[in-house]
Each structure stands twice: as C-alpha cells, then as structure tokens.
Amino acid sequence: MDISHWISHWADWDSDRIAVHFEGQDISYGEMEIRVSCLAAMLTGQLNVGKGDRVAHLGYNSPELLELLFACARLGAMLVPLNWRLAPPEHAWILQNCESKALLAEPDFVDHMNSIRDEVPDLAIIVYGGGDQWHSYEDLLPATGADAGGGTLDDPVTIVYTSGTTGRPKGTLLTQDA
C-alpha cells in the first residue's frame, strides 16, 4: 500500500484508534483523515498544488508535518522538509532549487520568512496560527476535504536535502515505496 492511503485505510478500519500522541493531545485516525483530506483540498483549491509540485515545511516535528506529508502523497506532490537550524539564505537557496510552490511554516519562523521573502516572491507562505501578513493554516482549511485519488509506489513523495558538506546541499528524492 502506498503512503497516500495509510491514513484513510486506518480511518476506515478503526477510526477511533490513536494515530498521533503529541504534547498531551491524542489525534485519532478518523480526525487525522479529516484534516489530511481538508489539507489536500486546500493545497489543490487555494494553491493549485498537484502532481509533481513541491511543498516545503519549516518547523519542528508536529502533527501538522504528518498531515502535510500525507496530503502531499495524496496529491502526488512532494514534501520538502526544511532543517529549521539552517540560516535564511540556505533556506532561500533550497526553496529556489526545488522550485517549491508553497511553504507551510510555524510562527517561530516569521522573522526568518520575512528575511527571504524577496528571494522567493512567487512562493505562497502559510503560517500555522496565522500572522499579520501571512495566510493562516487553520483559516485556509476548508470544512470538507476532497478525494485526491492517491499516488503509486513509484511516485516521489519527499525531497530531503543533504547537509552539503562538499558544497551546496543536494536534494534526494524518495518515492512512496522507500
């Protein structure tokens, strides 16, 4: 089974089962399925993300990162997780290099995003919890999701950048089968 169907499979099988326990909060497979479906609908409807597009994430480990991974897998898009320890110029270079269509980021990185905005002017930036000048993740999530169809085992699902010890970081493509 490819990654794009994991959450829906378990939501159909046992929707009340806990999928994620994070910082004292439990999220069931049923709840996760709704959020992943809504996020996939937002990515396609609001940001025109589709098969082959790249969507970056800047933040710490969180349920939202998992939601984004599974939503991207459903769309045939690729998640590009950014190392939050990198400097803004390094993030700007990676975002340009992978041609990311959107960036979902945590509020801790608003100043960071402000400093790279001019280098990636076409990048849609969504902030978890919003902010004065950024799209809010929660506000953009539609009330209902969409059936995005899913991917195949051969579809790329993520691009992970190396540390760049011999020069610039290099993007490593991982498929749903990896």
Q: What is the pLDDT of residue 177?
A: 77
pLDDT at residue 5, as a whole number: 84
Instruction: Tell me which amino acid residue 67 is.
Output: E
Let me know: does 41 contact 79? Beta carbons within 8 Å: no
Question: Can you tell me which residue has the tokens 């997780």?
Answer: 81
How far apart, in whole angstroms, are the C-alpha atoms of residue 10 and residue 19? Answer: 9
Q: What's the domain count of the chain? A: 1
Tell me if the pTM is above 0.75.
Answer: yes
The pLDDT tens digits for 85-144 are 999 999 999 999 999 999 999 989 988 988 999 999 999 988 876 555 555 666 666 655
Asked if 102 contacts 123 with a C-beta cutoff of 8 angstroms, the reply is yes
Confidence band for 150, pLDDT divided at 50, 70 and 90: low
Question: What pLDDT shows up at residue 130?
Answer: 59
Are 32 and 7 contacting, i.e. CB atoms less than 8 angstroms apart?
yes
Beta pairing class for 18-22 and 25-28:
antiparallel
Domain hosting residue 28, numbered range? 3-175
Share of the chain above pLDDT 70, in %: 86
CATH number at residue 124: 3.40.50.12780
The arithmetic mean of pLDDT across residues 18-36, rounded, is: 95
The pLDDT, as a whole number, for residue 143 is: 58
Q: Give how far Cα 46 sits from Cα of 15, 93, 102, 130, 139, Å.
A: 28, 25, 11, 16, 11
